[in-house]
């Protein structure tokens, strides 16, 4: 900002500041707005508004970030210790962040504790760009000389089919990495790359001045430095790597040791294309129907929003609707809404707003009837572990992990939030093979581990869906004896029952093998954890025998220690959660597999008695050791009561209710499930909590244009919306005089396209336009698994809703997880029932 301002400009700045409007410089360049980031026409530069995910390390949301014409195309601008750091490579800790609005400066102090070294990254306005400076009060430590450099990462998909200029030399961004690599003598073992000699990429180009995408103003960014800048392709080492610009920090210097000027191409007249948020799946004739137009706040155009009915001959007819109303501002956009609930005639429709047209959608009584079929027919079969899965001409994967599992080492903190305590809590020694675990279960997410908490959550969810809605669909053939699954091939057994059986086999295997529920089974190292492709190739399928040489095979055993690890520290929360899963499974297995149903219930009741006889084991770590103990105990008591009707479990439910009432939203579905088997006093005691939930739900409905809770953490909120919608359904079913069906139907609409940022359905294969690039185990193919549910809208702090359809590797936006798949089966069937007369 200039040192001297006329009094008129000072008054204007004061008025702007008082009104909460961003303070604008007088030359039309960037400004530091009241939300703490730099803003200009069609450009934002965020300076450490976000930081690395503490749970799963680098999530590509942190440091210096650039949003250009509505796309976050650059991130992780910071001092790093490798040219193309991987997810688990070290990153500095955030010490402090100072925003000086008057000076237009953001200064962030960061620290590498291991080296007792900290630095400052200063970002200040420089015309239409920003000047980035690295400032040191101590020189780069000797151990980091030649390693520490300033990096800025660029989203590859944003630059595919584009060029760059390095000084006066032109180049083309590669669609697929094929660059030279060099051997290195050392590499951080946490990166998951080979120990000993490793590899590092060679630069694609270098220079003092880079222009990215000179051919396209929508992606054009100029970066000029006072030192040499090198361009790298991180995809040589990891498929989720980005293009990286990097300058090394000089040794032996303090003060301002490096400066870049970063100038994204602006667009004085650019306006973001409006989004017409709506359900890609469609609507029931008598149900609520709301379309929400998401607008650039600078967009003053107000063309009509029209509902068009499409005839069989292609003719389109405008349908009278209620008037469009202004909803207001939310996050960074302005919203308009139109309620067309009065339109009930079945048919094919679309929405128009100016030049923006939606894809066609239906109004039909059966619009939700088959919305769960892709999840049943495709997603869950593909997720099945310990079997081979085939779909017509396609093999999804072989019989994976037949060598499960080895006992995890003690006092060991592992990847993906697994940890083993000071003892094994089993009869097995660290590294010893635990027989019997190589059966049943589902891959937890886009990776391949078996997380026990997810297993029993899914069993309970699928069991509820099967019981409540009488799901007898049969499109999948499961042969446990042959360890083989055929998709789209009926076998005379309900698919839901067979999926519940598959999860039950894994839970029972844990109790049979070690006597209690375990945290889960996960890869032994990062290199295997990041495997992409057929899971059967992750291991050799043979149990490890330490007496054999590496690669040697004898008597069905192997000298290759590639087996997954089982984490086995006792946790009562996991035992209670598994009791609930087994008790629920017993109900749906009866009449289909009585022997398995009997084993499940016998185990559940035995473990309940054991847990009730001693103080709980309270070992906890991350998200792998169960939910809150009292909530898991409550779930176990409720499911045992539903299955056995024994008074002892009704007594436990009544005793636990006051303890779980505080977390009513989390426990409401379970609490409602017990009501048919409890005295009237139990239901009566729930009424105050139900009324509170309904009041909170009504407030939520007004908090944003979409009427559901929208989270702002590093993992997007589809799971939260699913839970909210299903809780609403359970309470409407049990307390229709207090809770209506609206929360449930708003949740369905949100999942299928009525949400911020885009109008895409977050359930792959459900709705006209749905997720086709997602974080499944086939993500390297930029593909999808039909019926999988992605996390959805990630709010990049402070105000940018994002979901990338061009880059699957954002796990916080695009990763399928099995509990959300099961919840979608429940929710789609709930919506179908609510929409019927």
**What are the C-alpha distances in Å from 219 to residues 30, 159, 163, 209, 295?**
17, 7, 10, 16, 21
pLDDT grade for 57, boundaries at 50, 70 and 90: confident
Could you tell me the pLDDT band of residue 35, with boundaries at 50, 70 and 90?
very high
Paired tokens of 745: 């139907």
Alpha-carbon distance of 616 to 559, in angstroms, equals: 39
Q: Give the integer Cα–Cα distance in Å for 721 and 279.
A: 15
- Largest Cα–Cα separation, the chain: 89
Residue 74 or 56, more confident: 74
Strands 388-391 and 484-487, how do they pair?
parallel
Q: What is the pLDDT of residues 350-368, one digit of tens each?
A: 999 999 999 999 999 999 9
Q: What are the structural domain ranges in the chain?
A: 40-264, 291-362, 373-624
- What would the 3-class secondary structure string for 723-742 be? HHHHHHHHHHHHCCCCCCCH
Q: Name beta bridge partners: 316.
A: 310
Residue 796's DSSP bridge partners are: 800
Q: Report how far residue 395's alpha carbon sits from residue 557's, in angstroms, rounded to the nearest whole number.
A: 26
Confidence band (pLDDT; 50, 70, 90) for 14?
A: very low
Find residue 520's DSSP bridge partners: 451, 567
Burial (CB < 10 A; 0-12, 13-18, 19+), residue 536, is middle
Split at pLDDT 50, 70, 90, the class of 54 is low
Average pLDDT score, the chain? 93
Find residue 618's DSSP bridge partners.
571
pLDDT at 631 exceeding the cut of 90 = yes
pLDDT at 186: 57
Residue 478 has pLDDT above 50, yes or no: yes
Using one digit for the tens of pLDDT, what is the confidence trace for 794-833?
A: 999 999 999 999 999 999 999 999 999 999 999 999 999 9
Write out the DSSP string of 283-333.
Answer: E-TTS--EEEEEEETT----PPEEEEEEPTTS-EEEE--PPPEEEEEETTE
- Confidence band, pLDDT 50/70/90 cuts, at residue 27: very low
Q: Grade residue 184 by pLDDT with cuts at 50, 70 and 90.
A: confident
As a whole-number percent, the residues of the chain with pLDDT over 90 amount to 91
Q: Per-residue pLDDT for 2 more than 50?
A: no
pLDDT for 191 equals 42
Report residue 787 as tokens. Answer: 């019926």
- pLDDT score of 189: 42
Q: Provide the 3-class DSSP secondary structure of residue 335.
A: strand
Note whether 392 and 308 are within 8 A (CB). Answer: no
In tens, the pLDDT along 648-701 reads 999 999 999 999 999 999 999 999 999 999 999 999 999 999 999 999 999 989
* 230-262 confidence digits (pLDDT tens): 999 999 989 999 999 999 999 999 999 999 999
Q: How confident is the model at residue 552 (pLDDT cuts 50, 70, 90)?
A: very high
Q: Are 561 and 524 in contact (CB under 8 A)?
A: yes
**pLDDT band per the 50, 70, 90 thresholds, residue 185:** low
Return the SS3 of 108: strand
Which one-letter DSSP state was computed for residue 149? E
The answer to whether the beta carbons of residues 36 and 797 sit under 8 Å apart is: no
CATH of domain 373-624: 1.50.10.10
Describe the strand order of the beta sheet including 476-479 as a list of residue ranges. Answer: 394-397, 388-391, 484-487, 476-479
Question: Which tens digits make up the pLDDT trace of 63-121?
Answer: 999 999 999 999 999 999 999 998 889 999 999 999 999 999 999 999 999 999 999 99
DSSP-derived secondary structure for 579-616: HHHHHHHHHHHTTT-HHHHHHHHHHHHHHHHHHHTSPP
Structure-token pair, residue 52 = 């690395």
pLDDT at residue 55, as a whole number: 65
Residue 494 has pLDDT above 70, yes or no: yes
CA gap 550, 566 in Å, rounded = 21
Indicate if the pLDDT at residue 778 is higher than 60: yes
Which pLDDT does position 52 carry in this prediction? Answer: 80
Per-residue pLDDT, 192 = 42
pLDDT of amino acid 49: 97
pLDDT of 5:
29
Does 19 have pLDDT greater than 70? Answer: no
Distance CA 447, CA 415 (A): 12
Q: Are 104 and 26 in contact (CB under 8 A)?
A: no
Render pLDDT for 450-467 as a digit per residue (tens, 0 to 9).
999 999 999 999 999 999
Which has the closest alpha carbon to 91: 67, 121, 66, 71? 121
Establish whether the linkage from the previous residue to 798 is cis, with ω within 30° of 0.
Answer: yes
If you classify domain 40-264 with CATH, what class do you get?
A: mainly beta
298-338 tens-digit pLDDT: 999 999 999 999 999 999 999 999 999 999 999 999 999 99
- Per-residue pLDDT, 13: 31
pLDDT value at residue 196: 40
| DSSP per-residue letters across 160-180 | TT-EEEETTEEEE--SS----
747, 724 in Cβ contact below 8 A? Answer: yes
């Amino acid at each position: 900002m200039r040192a001297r301002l006329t009094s008129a400009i000072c008054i204007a700045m004061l008025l702007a500041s008082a009104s909460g409007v961003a303070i604008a410089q007088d030359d039309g360049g960037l400004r530091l707005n009241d939300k703490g980031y730099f803003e200009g026409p069609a450009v934002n530069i965020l300076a450490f508004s976000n930081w690395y995910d503490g749970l799963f390390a680098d999530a590509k949301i942190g440091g210096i970030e650039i949003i250009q014409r509505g796309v976050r195309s650059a991130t992780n601008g910071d001092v790093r210790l490798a040219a193309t750091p991987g997810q688990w490579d070290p990153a500095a800790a955030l010490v402090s962040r100072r925003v000086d609005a008057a000076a237009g400066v953001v200064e962030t102090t960061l620290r590498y504790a291991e080296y007792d070294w900290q630095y400052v990254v200063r970002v200040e306005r420089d015309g239409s760009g920003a000047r980035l400076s690295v400032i040191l009060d101590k020189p780069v430590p000797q151990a980091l000389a030649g390693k520490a450099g300033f990096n800025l990462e660029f989203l590859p998909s944003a630059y595919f089919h584009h060029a760059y200029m390095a000084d006066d030399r032109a180049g083309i961004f590669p669609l697929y990495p094929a660059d030279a690599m060099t051997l290195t003598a050392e590499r951080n073992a946490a990166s998951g790359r080979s120990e000993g000699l490793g590899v590092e990429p060679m630069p694609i180009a270098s220079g003092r001045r880079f222009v990215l995408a000179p051919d396209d103003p929508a992606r054009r960014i100029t970066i000029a430095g006072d030192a040499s800048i090198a361009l790298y392709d991180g995809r040589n080492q990891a498929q989720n790597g980005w293009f990286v610009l990097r300058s090394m920090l000089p040794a032996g210097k303090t003060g301002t040791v490096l400066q870049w000027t970063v100038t994204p191409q602006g667009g004085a007249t650019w306006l973001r294309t409006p989004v017409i948020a709506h359900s890609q799946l469609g609507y029931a004739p008598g149900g609520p129907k709301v379309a929400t137009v998401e607008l650039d706040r600078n967009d003053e155009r107000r063309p009509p929003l029209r509902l068009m009915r499409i005839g069989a001959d292609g003719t389109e007819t405008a349908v009278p609707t209620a008037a469009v109303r202004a909803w207001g501002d939310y996050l960074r956009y302005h919203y308009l809404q139109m309620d067309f609930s009065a339109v009930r005639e079945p048919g094919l429709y679309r929405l128009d707003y100016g030049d923006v047209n939606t894809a066609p959608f239906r109004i039909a009584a059966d619009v939700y009837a088959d919305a769960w079929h892709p999840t049943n027919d495709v997603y869950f079969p593909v997720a099945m572990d310990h079997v081979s899965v085939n779909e017509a001409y396609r093999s999804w994967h072989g019989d994976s992990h037949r060598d499960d599992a080895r006992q995890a080492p003690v006092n060991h903190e592992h990847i993906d939030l697994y940890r083993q305590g000071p003892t094994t809590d089993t009869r097995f020694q660290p590294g010893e093979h635990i027989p019997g675990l190589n059966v049943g279960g589902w891959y937890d997410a886009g990776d391949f581990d078996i997380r026990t908490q997810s297993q029993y959550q899914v069993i309970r969810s699928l069991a509820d869906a099967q019981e409540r809605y009488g799901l007898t669909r049969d499109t999948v053939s499961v042969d446990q004896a042959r360890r083989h699954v055929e998709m789209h091939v009926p076998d005379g057994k309900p698919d839901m029952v067979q999926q519940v059986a598959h999860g039950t086999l894994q839970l029972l295997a844990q109790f049979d093998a070690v006597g209690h529920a375990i945290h889960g089974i996960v890869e032994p190292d990062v290199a295997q954890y990041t495997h992409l492709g057929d899971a059967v190739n992750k291991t050799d399928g043979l149990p490890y025998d330490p007496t054999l040489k590496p690669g040697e095979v004898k008597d069905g055993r192997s000298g290759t220690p590639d087996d997954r690890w089982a984490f086995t520290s006792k946790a009562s929360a996991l035992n209670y959660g598994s009791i609930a899963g087994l008790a629920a499974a017993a109900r749906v297995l009866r009449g289909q597999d009585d022997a398995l149903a009997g084993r499940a219930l016998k185990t559940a009741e035995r473990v309940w008695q054991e847990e009730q006889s001693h103080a709980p084991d309270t070992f906890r770590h991350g998200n792998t050791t169960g939910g809150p103990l009292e909530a898991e105990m409550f779930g176990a008591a409720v499911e045992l009561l539903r299955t056995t009707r024994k008074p002892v479990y009704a007594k436990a439910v009544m005793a636990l209710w006051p303890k779980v009432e505080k977390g009513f939203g989390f426990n409401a579905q379970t609490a409602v499930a017990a009501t048919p088997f409890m005295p009237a006093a139990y239901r009566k005691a729930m009424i105050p909590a139900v009324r509170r939930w309904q009041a909170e739900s009504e407030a939520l409905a007004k908090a944003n244009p979409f009427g559901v809770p929208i989270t702002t953490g590093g993992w997007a909120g589809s799971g939260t919306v699913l839970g909210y919608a299903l809780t609403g359904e359970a309470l409407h079913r049990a307390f229709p005089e207090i809770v209506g069906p609206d929360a449930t139907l708003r949740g369905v609409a949100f999942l299928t396209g009525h949400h911020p940022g885009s109008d895409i359905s977050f359930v792959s294969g459900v709705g006209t336009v749905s997720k086709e690039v997602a974080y499944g185990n086939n993500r390297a193919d930029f593909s999808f698994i039909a019926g999988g549910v992605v996390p959805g809208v990630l709010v990049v702090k402070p105000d940018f809703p994002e979901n990338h359809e061009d880059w699957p590797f954002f796990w916080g936006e695009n990763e399928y997880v099995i509990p959300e798949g099961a919840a979608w089966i429940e929710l789609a069937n709930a919506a179908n029932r609510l929409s019927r007369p």
